[in-house]
C-alpha cells in the first residue's frame, strides 16, 4: 500500500525531520500497532522542521490499542504538521535542495501517506531509472516486496533445481513472486491462500502447481501431506502460528524455512505457541528470518534479473489498486482481513 506521484511539491532540505512515524510495512511486520503515539514533543519537532503548505494527510487520531480500526484514522487537509503514516511509495520530485535529486525525478522509497512530503533523509529513496513498466510496480515487484521475494528465495532458501516449495499467503505481493521465481528452476510449487479466488489465481494465472484455501482445511498437516507426499524442501513463511506448526511436521531433511513474516500473529495479545520445533533437529532444518533492507545494495542486480522477466511476460504481477487517499484506511485494515488480492496499492495522485 502506498502513495504514488504527488502532483505538486516535494522538497529535500538537509536537516529537518518531517517523516518519522509509523510505517505501514513495519507496523504489519512488528505488531507495534498496539501502541502508536503522537507526542507533543513530536508535534513541536515537526512544527519546527520546515515551511508549512496545504496538504492532505492520513493521520491516526490518537493512541491505537489493540487491533486498529478504520475509524482510528482520518484524512485531513491543513497546514498543521501532524505525523502522517509512512510507507513505501512512488513520488515525483517537485523541488530539491539535494544535488542528488532534481525536479522531475521519479523515486521510490519511504514516503508519507500524504499528498506532499518534505523529505529530509533521502537515503530512504531510490531513483527510478526504468519507466517502461507501470510506476506502481516500484511499490511491489520492483520495490521492497520484490526484493523481499528475491532475497528470501534466492539468498536465504538456497534453492536447488526441482525442489518442493511451499508458500503461505501465496497470492500476496511477495508470495506470488516467490512462486514465479521457483517455477523456472523446475521446482514443484504449492501455495496457500484464504479464498477460492486467490487459490484460482495461483493455479490458473500464476502457474503454481497446486494451491489450497487454508480456511477450508480443518487439518493443515493433512493438507500439506496431500500436496507434498514426499515433504517440503523450502517453506517461504508469511503467516506463522498453526501453519508453521504443520509445515514443521512435513519438512524434508535439510529443508530451509525463509521467515519473511507471521501475519497471523501480529495482532494477537499473545502469539500462538509453536509445538513442533523438534523437527528442526530430526530433519536438520534451517529457519532464517530476513528483511529486505539488508539486501538494498543488491537492488540493481535484482532489477537486472526481474525487469526482463516482466518485459517478456514471464512473470505476472497482480495489484489491487484503490484510488484516493480517502480509501487508505479501508485498504490498510483490509490487509489484516485478507480483503486484497495481490499487492494493495493506494493511488494518491496520478501524474
Beta strand 86-92 pairing with 106-112: antiparallel
Hey, what's the cell of 14? Answer: 538537509
Q: Considering the complex, state which of residue 149 and residue 285 has its C-beta at the smaller distance from a second copy.
A: 285
Which span (7-15, 168-176, 258-266, 320-328) binds a second copy, by CB under 8 A?
A: 258-266
Q: Between residues 38 and 280, which has the closer beta carbon with respect to a second copy? A: 280
Q: CB-wise, 20 or 276, nearer to a second copy? A: 276
Question: Could you tell me the smallest distance in angstroms from the CB atom of residue 269 to a second copy?
Answer: 11
Contact call for residues 325 and 189 (beta carbons, < 8 A): no
Please say which residue, 181 or 295, places its beta carbon nearer to a second copy. Answer: 295
Q: What is the dihedral of CA 20, 24, 29, 33, to 10 degrees?
A: 80
* Nearest approach, Cβ of residue 132 and a second copy (Å): 34
Nearer Cβ to a second copy (104/273)? 273
Q: How far is the CB of 36 from a second copy (least distance, A)?
A: 17
Query: In whole angstroms, how large is the CA radius of gyration of the chain?
Result: 21
Residues whose CB is less than 8 angstroms from the CB of residue 150 and which lie 6 or more positions away in sequence, other chains included: 177, 181, 295, 298, 302, 305, 306
CA distances to 79, 183, 261, 343 from 236, in Å: 44, 14, 9, 17
Q: Which of 3, 217, 319, 4 is nearest to 131 (CA)?
A: 4
Per-residue contact string for residues 228-247; x = within reach of a second copy by CB under 8 A: ------------x---x---
Residues 265-324 interacting with a second copy (rule: CB under 8 A)? 265-266, 270-291, 294
**Binding residues for a second copy restricted to 76-135, rule: CB under 8 A:** none
Residues that bind a second copy (CB under 8 A): 29-31, 240, 244, 259-262, 265-266, 270-291, 294
Amino acid at each position: 500500500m502506498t502513495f504514488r506521484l504527488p502532483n505538486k511539491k516535494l522538497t529535500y532540505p538537509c536537516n529537518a525531520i518531517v517523516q518519522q512515524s509509523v510505517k505501514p510495512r513495519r507496523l504489519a511486520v512488528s505488531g507495534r500497532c498496539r501502541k502508536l503515539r503522537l507526542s507533543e514533543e513530536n508535534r513541536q519537532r515537526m512544527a519546527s522542521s520546515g515551511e508549512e503548505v496545504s496538504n492532505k494527510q492520513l493521520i491516526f487520531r490518537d493512541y491505537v490499542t489493540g487491533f486498529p480500526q478504520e475509524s482510528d484514522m482520518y484524512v485531513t487537509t491543513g497546514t498543521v504538521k501532524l505525523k502522517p503514516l509512512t510507507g513505501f511509495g512512488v513520488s515525483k520530485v517537485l523541488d530539491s535542495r539535494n544535488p542528488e535529486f532534481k525536479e522531475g525525478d521519479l523515486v521510490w522509497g519511504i514516503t508519507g501517506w500524504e499528498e506532499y512530503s518534505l523529505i529530509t533523509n533521502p537515503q530512504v529513496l531510490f531513483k527510478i531509472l526504468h519507466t517502461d513498466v507501470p510506476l506502481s510496480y516500484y511499490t511491489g515487484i520492483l520495490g521492497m516486496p520484490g526484493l523481499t521475494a528475491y532475497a528470501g528465495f534466492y539468498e536465504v532458501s538456497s534453492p536447488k533445481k526441482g525442489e518442493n516449495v511451499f508458500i503461505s499467503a501465496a497470492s500476496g505481493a511477495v508470495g506470488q513472486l516467490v512462486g514465479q521465481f521457483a517455477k523456472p528452476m523446475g521446482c514443484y510449487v504449492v501455495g496457500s491462500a484464504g479464498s477460492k479466488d486467490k487459490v484460482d489465481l495461483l493455479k490458473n494465472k500464476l502457474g503454481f502447481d497446486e494451491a489450497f484455501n487454508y480456511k477450508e482445511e480443518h487439518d493443515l498437516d493433512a493438507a500439506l501431506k496431500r500436496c507434498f507426499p514426499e515433504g517440503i524442501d523450502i517453506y517461504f513463511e508469511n503467516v506463522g502460528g498453526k501453519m508453521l506448526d504443520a509445515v514443521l511436521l512435513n519438512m524434508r531433511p535439510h529443508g530451509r524455512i525463509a521467515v519473511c513474516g507471521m501475519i497471523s500473529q501480529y495482532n494477537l495479545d499473545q502469539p500462538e505457541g509453536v509445538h513442533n520445533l523438534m523437527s528442526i533437529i530430526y530433519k536438520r532444518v534451517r529457519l532464517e528470518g530476513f528483511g529486505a533492507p539488508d539486501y538494498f545494495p543488491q537492488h540493481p542486480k535484482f532489477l537486472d534479473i526481474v525487469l526482463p522477466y516482466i518485459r517478456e511476460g514471464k512473470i505476472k504481477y497482480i495489484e489491487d489498486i484503490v484510488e484516493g487517499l480517502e480509501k487508505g484506511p479501508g485498504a490498510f485494515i483490509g490487509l489484516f482481513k485478507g480483503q486484497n488480492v495481490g499487492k494493495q496499492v493506494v493511488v494518491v495522485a496520478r501524474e
